[in-house]
């Protein structure tokens, strides 16, 4: 299928809006989606061998990926908003595909750069200052140091027009503003700026050189594009920002590659928002939390049962709720001083991972197999809010603040193009969640404060009528005249909202089954201090 034929197929397959039926000479959606990695080049070369259905699926997937990156409704159609977004000024580095080259970094911390030329639109001193400040953005949060020289350098910087010899020509005013190459020999690390743009400094007029340069130098250091809208590494130009500061996502990314500025042990954490939904309840004087009158730290589905954690304690849920029990006493090998955990989940190989701060542990049943390890080794942030294994794709989702990461268990790494914005999970609180679990009914349950949200797996949308009170509608507590709530845990009462198989056979090793039996006997506390 020739290029023109493919464009026609693209328009027909995705239902291009009538008002956009004749894209401008500069806006070819096929070229755009291919250039930025959304349409796979190898598959495109075999387009004439595809059935209409295969073509339809390929194009819809490409358009939806672009819409997700651009925070647009994921319709899979080249509607007017999507076409308009494709005309917005942006970085020339691909968002997906072969150009992302993960894992590239400089093997030294002292780097040099050279200005091959400067833009005649600005005084040389203005260009030099903007470039210096752009490098300084990354110096402040890493061990990296940058020095300008006049000879051959690690990072060569130039202002060029159109075709400039690297096989990646610029397109004139607007569109692609600049591009840079990931670390490596030769052209690696170099940054090129389109001289056709109206470059400015310290103003919102035109295209601000400092903002664009700071973004491109992120690529020169090994960073890919981010889907986080406020991140510097978001691919679309967002204008001049006075008193600019890196987003936490940018800091996390660069420190994952090079570590923090000497004296800092972890990425600077984002401010912690106040809990919503009535969370933050104190632990009772007895030292043990009451599941009917508390928020929770994390929740997980392990060995066919639901486990709920708050502070130093956890509850076990099968046909009833038992506990609370000390977490560090059951999971042999956790620090005795552990005051809470951030997340826990069971991997496909039945190993159990427990997260706290910047560390995690790996357990076989309830025995420590390895750890503590650094969470950053997994490509994940410290101080996680929630962990959610997802049944339909076998991936594991990690949540922190208004972002989430998708972890590929089979490949042992975070999937490309993550983290992403939490608002893709429609209906959740914008500032994040406290805990998450998917139960056997197929629904996902997210907790925030003392409330919970029920989400359909197919639509990734919270059901109408939520949030609801977790105490009553999830844990099965009922109002009592003598206290706020009293639990309905006696006998075989099933807490509302929970769906599971209450099998008679213990799904753990025998020594764990024996311990659980002692726990639920109620005669003595097997974890008494």
CA 148 to chain CA centroid, Å, is 35
With b for 16 or more beta-carbon neighbours within 10 A and e for fewer, the 177-211 pattern comes to bbbbbbbeeeebbbbbbbbbbebbbeeeeebbbbb
Report whether 219 belongs to an annotated binding site.
yes
User: Any residues with CB less than 8 A from the CB of 445 and at least 6 apart, and which?
Assistant: 299, 436, 437, 438, 439, 452, 453, 454, 455, 474, 497
Question: Whole-angstrom Cα distance, residue 466 to residue 107?
Answer: 50
Q: Tell me if residue 216 is catalytic.
A: yes
Known binder of ligand: residue 1? no
The first and second tokens of residue 354, run together, are 């427990």
Measure the CA–CA gap between 175 and 225, rounded to whole angstroms: 17
Q: Which of left, alpha, beta for 459 (phi over 0: left; psi -120 to 50: alpha)?
A: alpha
Find tokens 């991936």 and name the residue.
395
Residue recorded with tokens 């983290």 = 419
Residue 358 annotated in ligand binding: no
- Work out the number of other CB atoms within 10 angstroms of the CB of residue 462: 19
Residue 409 marked in a binding site: no
Among the listed residues 156, 216, 224, 305, the single catalytic one is 216
∠ at Cα 21 (17, 25), nearest 5°?
135
Whether residue 324 has a cis bond before it, omega within 30° of 0: yes
Instruction: Let me know how long the chain is.
Output: 529
Task: Return the half-sphere exposure (C-beta side, CA atoms, 13 A cut-off) of residue 205.
Answer: 3
Q: Do the annotations mark residue 501 as ligand-binding?
A: no
166 is in an annotated binding site: yes
Gap between the Cα atoms of 435 and 299, Å rounded: 6
Consult the annotation and say whether 247 binds a ligand: no
* Closest C-alpha among 501, 504, 447 to residue 475: 447
484 labeled part of a ligand binding site: no
- Residue 261, C-beta contacts closer than 8 angstroms, at least 6 positions apart: 139, 140, 141, 142, 143
Q: Is 172 annotated for ligand binding? A: yes
379 is in an annotated binding site: no
Is 299 annotated as a binding-site member? Answer: yes
Residue 91 annotated in ligand binding: yes
Backbone angles phi, psi at 317, to 5 degrees: -125, 120
Q: Residue 4, SS3?
A: helix
Known binder of ligand: residue 473?
Answer: no
CA–CA distance, 359 with 380 (Å, rounded to integer): 10
Query: Which letter does DSSP use for residue 261 in this model?
Result: S
Contact 83, 29 (CB under 8 A): yes
Find where tokens 């755009």 sit.
Answer: 32
Q: Which token pair is 194?
A: 């389109």
Q: Does 164 belong to an annotated binding site?
A: yes
CA distance 3 to 58: 16
Q: Is 194 a known ligand-binding residue? A: yes
Separation CA 508–CA 41 (nearest Å):
48
CA distance from start to end of the chain? 73
Per the annotation, binding residues are: 91, 154, 164, 166, 171-172, 179, 188, 190, 192, 194, 197, 215, 219, 225, 233, 297, 299, 342, 434
Residues recognised as catalytic: 216
Per the annotation, binding residues for Ca(2+) are: 154, 171-172, 188, 190, 194, 197, 297, 299, 342, 434
Per the annotation, binding residues for Zn(2+) are: 91, 164, 166, 179, 192, 215, 219, 225, 233
């Amino acid at each position: 299928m020739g290029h023109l034929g493919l464009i026609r197929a693209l328009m027909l397959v995705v239902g291009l809006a009538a008002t956009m039926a004749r894209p401008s000479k500069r806006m070819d959606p096929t070229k755009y989606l291919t250039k930025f990695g959304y349409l796979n080049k190898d598959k495109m070369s075999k387009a004439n061998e595809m059935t209409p259905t295969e073509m339809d699926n390929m194009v819809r997937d490409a358009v939806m990926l672009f819409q997700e990156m651009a925070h647009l409704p994921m319709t899979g159609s080249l509607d007017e908003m999507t076409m308009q977004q494709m005309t917005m000024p942006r970085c020339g580095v691909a968002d997906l595909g072969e150009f992302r080259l993960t894992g590239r970094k400089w093997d030294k911390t002292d780097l040099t750069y050279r200005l091959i030329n400067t833009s005649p639109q600005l005084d040389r001193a203005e260009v030099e200052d903007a470039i210096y400040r752009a490098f300084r953005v990354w110096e402040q949060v890493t061990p990296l140091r940058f020095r300008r020289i006049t000879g051959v350098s690690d990072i060569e910087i130039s202002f060029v027009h159109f075709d400039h010899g690297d096989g990646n020509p610029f397109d004139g005013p607007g569109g692609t503003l600049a591009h840079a190459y990931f670390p490596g020999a030769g052209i690696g690390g170099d940054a090129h700026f389109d001289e056709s743009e109206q470059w400015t400094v310290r103003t919102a007029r035109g295209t601000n050189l400092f903002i664009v340069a700071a973004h491109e130098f992120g690529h020169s250091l090994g960073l890919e594009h981010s889907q986080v809208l406020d991140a510097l590494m978001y691919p679309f130009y967002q204008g001049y920002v006075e008193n600019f500061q890196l987003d936490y996502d940018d800091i996390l990314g660069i420190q994952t590659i090079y570590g923090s500025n000497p004296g800092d042990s972890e990425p600077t954490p984002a401010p912690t928002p106040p809990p919503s939904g009535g969370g933050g309840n104190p632990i009772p004087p007895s030292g043990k939390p009451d599941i009917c009158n508390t928020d929770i730290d994390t929740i997980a589905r392990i060995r066919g049962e639901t486990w709920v954690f708050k502070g130093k304690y956890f509850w076990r849920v099968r046909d009833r709720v038992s506990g609370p029990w000390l977490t560090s006493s059951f999971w042999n090998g956790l620090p005795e001083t552990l005051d809470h955990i951030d997340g826990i989940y069971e991997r496909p190989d039945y190993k159990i991972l427990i997260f706290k701060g910047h560390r995690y542990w790996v357990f076989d049943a309830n025995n420590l197999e390895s750890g503590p390890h650094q969470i950053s080794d997994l490509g994940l942030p410290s101080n996680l809010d929630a962990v959610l294994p997802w049944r339909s794709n076998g991936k594991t989702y990690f949540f922190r603040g208004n972002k989430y990461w998708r972890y590929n268990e089979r490949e042992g790494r975070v999937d490309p193009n993550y983290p992403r914005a939490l608002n893709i999970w429609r209906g959740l609180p914008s500032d994040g969640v406290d805990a998450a679990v998917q139960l056997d009914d197929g629904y996902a349950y997210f907790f925030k404060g003392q409330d919970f949200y029920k989400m359909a797996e197919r639509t990734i949308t919270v059901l109408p009528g939520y949030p609801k009170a977790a105490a009553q509608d999830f844990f099965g507590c009922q109002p009592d005249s003598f206290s706020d709530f009293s639990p309905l845990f006696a006998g075989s009462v099933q807490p509302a909202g929970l769906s599971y198989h209450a099998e008679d056979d213990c799904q753990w090793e025998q020594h764990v089954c024996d311990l659980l039996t002692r726990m639920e006997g109620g005669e003595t506390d097997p974890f008494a201090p």
